[in-house]
Structure formats: structure tokens, C-alpha cells
Amino acid sequence: MAESNSITTRSLGTASEGIKDQYADGKAAKVWQIFIGDKKSRTQNYKNFLVGLLKQRGCKRILDVACGTGIDSIMLLEEGFEVVSVDASDKMLKYALKERWNRRKEAAFDKWIIEEANWVNLYDDIEDVVGNGFDAVICLGNSFAHLLDNFGDQREQVKALMNFEKCVKPGGLLLIDHRNYDDIMDTGRTASKCIYYNSQHTTDIKTSVLYVGGRPVLVTLDYLIDISSADDEKRDYINEDSISEFRLSYYPHRLKVFKEMLRKSFGENAEFKLYGDFKPLNEIDVPDFYIHVVEKSRTVF
Ligand SMILES: C[S@@+](CC[C@H](N)C(=O)[O-])C[C@H]1O[C@@H](n2cnc3c(N)ncnc32)[C@H](O)[C@@H]1O
């Protein structure tokens, strides 16, 4: 946990123009594998939950809409799922594409489809691979919160969720998560170790909150990663500096409002379940992450 800042302004300013690739400078992409920690210990945290749920529901074809460097997609491919992965950042996709190339002799990796796409135009961009819809769409790792509220009415976030809905087949699932921004807003702090990011190298996350007209609209996290003791294979990607810093910004989703957006996008006949750090809510006091599981209605209106 680290110190926090809060900034108050009357408008969102220049940062509100367009949808930016926050990973475009390549800084986060370079150290992402170190930040997320040992792949096994990270995936173990949610492997049982995610793989268990997908298998129990008979899901076979999965769309990972925020694949980043490919961590979740690769785990699912290794578990026997058919995976299509998309992301808006070519700097992040570069690492997924490299893994695909290195493992192209494995049938699952040879069939792995990776596309560059933005959630706001997602359905139009990948319509040809959607077919009758995916058994499940996943958007994990606090990714969705990268989509800011550029117009002050959350219209792009709703549009993105509606695109996810169009990619799910009737009776299929959406799994989407976000950090516990209610708690971040209340405490001004962000946990540096959590269910996804448990690297021994993350030393600090500094939290800044931007308020516009008294409303929190942007949380900026400054990550400080000490890579001096990272193993050589991972250090090969990085320069000699032992401390790596990168900054990412997020929209602070309030749980109540996020649930309403999901209802708006999937309709009242969908089924909505909520977990905290992959556990039922009654088993966890203050989760770092909320994970929403939405089952799309089988009835098409
Ligand atoms: C926090 S990373 C998570 C990646 C991966 N799921 C993980 O947990 O390691 C978030 C990813 O979301 C992607 N992203 C952000 N906004 C996006 C958008 N509007 N459309 C598509 N991808 C987006 C970023 O490029 C980035 O790779």
C-alpha cells in the first residue's frame, strides 16, 4: 500500500480525446511478465475458478477480449479450449504473437486466432470469427477499467459491453472484472499484491484520483517494479535499469453502477452473479477484485 494524491478539476481536459493505447510506449508491455509474477502462481489463483466454471458449463470456444501478452489465453489453450484473443495494443500483442509462433507445432497454438481490435468497435471488427457466438467471453485483469468515460455518460463503456454481449451466444457467459474501486476511493490506496498480480518484484503502486465536478473520473496508478532480482530470461527484454516505472489510468467503476451497466447491456432476463477475489462474497470481507459472471438469456427478443 502506498500514499495517494487527489486532484480536482472542472473538466477531463485533453486526456479525454479519443481512445488511447496506454501501452503504446511499450513500458508496461516490457515488464508485464515480471509484474504479473510467476505464471504458475498467478494462474493457480484463478485456474480452479475459471477453468472449473468454463468446463462445468460446457464452454469450448472462448473469446479473450483483453488478452494483453496472452496470459489467460495461453492458460486456456493449455487446458484444451479453443481461443480467439483480441487486444487494442500491438505492443502487448507482440508477446502473445511470439508465444504463438514459438508453439506453432502444438495444434491448439496453431489454431489460436489473435486480432488487434478495440472493444468500442469489437463486433464489427471481428464479426467473421464470431459466428453463432462464443461459449464465453472473458475480460480479466482489471482491463475494462482502461476504457474511460470520455463523454461523461459512460456511453462508450455501455457500447463496449453491448459488443461483448453480441459476441456471446445465447446461454453463454461473460466474465468481467474490475478492481474494488469503492474501496480505492474510500481509502485512497491500491493493493500492490492481489489475485492477479502477485509478483515479488512489485514494490509500490502510487494512487492518484482525479475529480471532475466533485465526481471521481480517473484513477492513475504509478507502478514501481524492482527488476534487479528478475531471472535472466525476463531481464533480456529490459534495459539495465533495476527499477522500472510505468503509469496506467483507469475509470473508477462503482460496483452499483457497474452492475446497472451490465443489466442495461444484457437485459433483465440475463443471470448475474458476483464474486470477490474468485470467492462467493460472503467468504470475503473486502475483496481487491470483483468478478461478474453474466449468463446471456437463451431467449432472443
Ligand atoms: C491490464 S492489461 C491485462 C491483460 C491480461 N488480461 C492480463 O490480465 O494480464 C489490459 C489490456 O487491455 C487492453 N485494452 C485496454 N483498452 C482496450 C480497448 N478499448 N480495446 C481492446 N483492448 C483494450 C490493453 O491494451 C491491455 O493489453
Distance CA 129, CA 119 (A): 15
> 301 C-alpha to center of ligand 1: Å?
31
Q: Indicate whether 116 belongs to any domain.
A: yes
Q: Indicate whether 42 belongs to any domain.
A: yes
Is residue 144 classed exposed, middle or buried when 0-12, 13-18 and 19+ CB atoms within 10 A define those classes? buried
Q: Indicate whether 13 belongs to any domain.
A: no
Q: Give the atom of ligand 1 at the shortest distance from the alpha carbon of 196.
A: 8
Query: Going by C-beta distance under 8 Å and a sequence separation of 6 or more, which residues neighbour residue 123?
Result: 130, 163, 166, 167
Span 167-193, mean pLDDT?
93
> What letters, b where the CB count within 10 A reaches 16 and e where it falls short, cover 250-274?
bbbbebeebbebbeebbeeebeeeb
Residue type, 32: W
Query: What is the value of pTM for the model shown?
Result: 0.87
Probe target for ligand 1 pocket from 33, 115, 140, 143, with the most ligand atoms within 8 Å of CB: 143
Nearest to 119, CA basis, from 46, 176, 73: 176
| Each residue's pLDDT tens digit, 77-99 | 999 999 999 999 999 999 999 99
What whole-number percentage of the chain has pLDDT above 90? 65
Q: Indicate whether 76 belongs to any domain.
A: yes
Q: Is 141 in the pocket of ligand 1 (CB under 6 A)?
A: yes
Q: Indicate whether 14 belongs to any domain.
A: no
What three-state secondary structure class fits 123?
helix
Number of domains in the chain: 1
| Cα–Cα separations (whole angstroms), residue 82 to 56, 88, 119 | 16, 21, 20
Q: Is 72 in the pocket of ligand 1 (CB under 6 A)?
A: yes
> 144 C-alpha to center of ligand 1: Å?
7
Helix-, strand-, coil-residue percentages of the chain, each rounded to 5: 35, 30, 35
Q: Which segment, 17-21, 28-32, 194-198, 203-207, is predicted with the most confidence on average?
A: 203-207
| Cα–Cα separations (whole angstroms), residue 1 to 119, 140, 202, 224 | 31, 22, 11, 12
Q: Indicate whether 138 belongs to any domain.
A: yes
Cell of 21: 493505447
- Give kind and range of the element (H or E) at residue 275: strand 271-276
| Each residue's pLDDT tens digit, 126-164 | 999 999 999 999 999 999 999 999 899 999 999 999 999
pLDDT given at position 226: 75
Nearest to 96, CA basis, from 84, 107, 106: 84
Q: Indicate whether 131 belongs to any domain.
A: yes
Angle at 220 (CA atoms; ends 275, 45), nearest 5 degrees: 30
> Residue 167's domain is classified under what CATH number?
3.40.50.150
> 140 C-alpha to center of ligand 1: Å?
8
**Residue 152 neighbours by CB distance under 10 Å:** 13
Contact indicator for 142, 179 with CB cutoff of 8 Å: yes
What residues act catalytically?
A: 23, 141, 146, 179, 197
Q: Indicate whether 15 belongs to any domain.
A: no
- Whole domain around residue 220: which residue ranges? 4-8+20-295
